[in-house]
């Protein structure tokens, strides 16, 4: 249960049934507090996840932009679970660099702590936000972290559990199977839709939409689809058992809901070049579903090397240049301040990672910079 009851009022309200904001307004209007301490009864458990416009893969640096999609999970009570979302934005809202990065407080309530955490995990899987980077992958990963689930927490949790920074959760063997099955079913839907379009040569679904190779991350996995339609089919992954797939997902929808075997699954689906990106339970992974002969050729494609940016100081987040601490031609020692960038009410000091000589200054005090804009170059 929440230990900061006076601050995080949504979880307090969920476990007490008392509208604290209403009580504050009434007291501010001169009324006496209508409840006594003895009237307060704690019921069940509540979890709150703060959705922030921060990139967990870049040390939680701020992110700005327009919310091209903002679709929270449905609020209300379903069975023993309550979902509540306190927010002040809508689809189309602009997240700017001048304000606090919090977008929403997503809360779940359930009779037990484990149920409340599982409900939060499901709610995060169904929460669609596009247009900015956000901390939802971290929150989703947190809900399945053993230490979090056991309640062994401290303010040093992130530093202790993610000393090298946060990275997407790696799927285990069972989760890979589920993701491959979902990816194959998505491609099955796409192929059937294409085959039904007028003006196209109708290709045999049995030949073209049944046998696939799924590239999941760096793994290549065989997947076979059986059944008459996407709402009721089965997938055999890597020669394993047949998994019944039931879903009413339609092409273009950002959330795939259904069952894989006996397991209920909610996966976020986003298109990417020649494939899809999948987000589920803190996992973020690309899937390419290819015909076997295409996969054979795809394996031969060279891997694109990352660009060398060691001679540039890049702006790590969108922000305002507060100051430039060096000049062109200056020799700088590791740890010295190069520049200060302000974003979302915080000043971020950018320091030299090694001894360098400044060759060129590309930004000036007062400039507004985009993420990865070149602030200066080194010799």
Q: For residue 284, what is the enclosing H or E element? A: strand 283-290
Distance CA 173, CA 181 (A): 12
**Nearest Cα to 184, choosing from 297, 288, 295, 292?**
288
In angstroms, the CA 140 to CA 118 distance is 10
- What beta strand segments (E) does 217-282 contain? 219-229, 232-237, 242-247, 255-260, 263-272, 275-280
The tokens for 160 are: 């202790």
Rounded Cα distance, 352 and 260, in Å: 50
Residues in the chain: 379
Helix residue spans in the chain (DSSP H) = 9-16, 20-28, 113-125, 136-142, 146-150, 157-161, 173-196, 205-208, 292-298
How, if at all, do strands 45-52 and 54-55 pair?
unpaired
Burial class (CB in 10 A: 0-12, 13-18, 19+), 57: middle
CB 83, CB 144: distance < 8 Å: no
Distances (CA, A) of 38 to 21, 41, 42, 140, 144: 19, 8, 11, 36, 36
Q: Which of 4, 41, 152, 207 is catalytic?
A: 4
- Please give the Cα distance from 64 to 58 (Å, whole number): 14
272 is catalytic: no
Name the one residue in this structure whose structure tokens are 């200066």: 376
Name residue, tokens 């249960």.
1
Residues 199, 205, 208, 209, CA torsion sign: positive
Among all residues, which ones are annotated catalytic?
Answer: 4
């Amino acid at each position: 249960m929440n230990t900061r009851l006076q601050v995080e009022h949504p979880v307090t309200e969920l476990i007490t049934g008392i509208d604290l904001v209403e009580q504050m307004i009434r007291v501010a209007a001169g009324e006496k507090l209508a409840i006594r301490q003895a009237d307060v009864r704690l019921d069940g458990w509540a979890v709150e996840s703060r959705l922030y416009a921060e990139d967990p893969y870049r040390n939680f640096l701020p992110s700005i932009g327009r919310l091209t999609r903002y679709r929270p999970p449905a609020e209300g009570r379903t069975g023993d679970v309550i979902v509540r979302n306190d927010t002040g934005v809508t689809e189309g809202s602009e997240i700017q660099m001048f304000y606090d990065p919090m977008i929403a407080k997503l809360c779940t309530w359930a009779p037990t702590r484990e149920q409340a955490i599982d409900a939060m995990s499901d709610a995060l899987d169904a929460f669609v936000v596009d247009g900015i980077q956000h901390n939802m992958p971290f929150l989703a990963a947190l809900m399945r972290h053993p230490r979090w689930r056991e309640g062994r927490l401290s303010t040093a949790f992130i530093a202790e559990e993610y000393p090298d920074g946060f990275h997407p959760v790696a799927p285990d063997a069972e989760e890979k199977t589920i993701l491959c099955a979902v990816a194959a079913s998505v491609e099955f839907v796409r192929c059937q839709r294409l085959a039904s379009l007028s003006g196209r040569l109708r290709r045999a679904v049995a030949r073209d939409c049944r046998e696939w190779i799924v590239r999941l991350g760096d793994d290549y996995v065989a997947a076979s689809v059986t059944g008459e339609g996407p709402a009721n089919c089965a997938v055999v992954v890597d020669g394993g058992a047949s998994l019944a797939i039931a879903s009413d997902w339609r092409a273009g929808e950002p959330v795939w809901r259904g069952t894989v075997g006996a397991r209920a699954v909610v996966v976020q689906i986003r298109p990417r070049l020649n494939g899809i990106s999948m987000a589920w339970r803190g996992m973020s992974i690309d899937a390419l579903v290819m015909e076997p002969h295409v996969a054979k050729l795809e394996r031969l494609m060279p891997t694109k090397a990352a660009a060398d940016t060691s001679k540039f100081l890049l702006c790590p987040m969108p922000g305002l240049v507060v100051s430039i601490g060096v000049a062109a031609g200056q020799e700088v020692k590791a740890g010295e301040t190069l520049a200060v960038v302000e974003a979302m009410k915080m000043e971020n000091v950018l320091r030299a990672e090694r001894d360098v000589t400044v060759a060129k200054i590309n930004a000036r005090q007062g400039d507004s910079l985009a993420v990865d804009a070149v602030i200066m170059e080194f010799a």
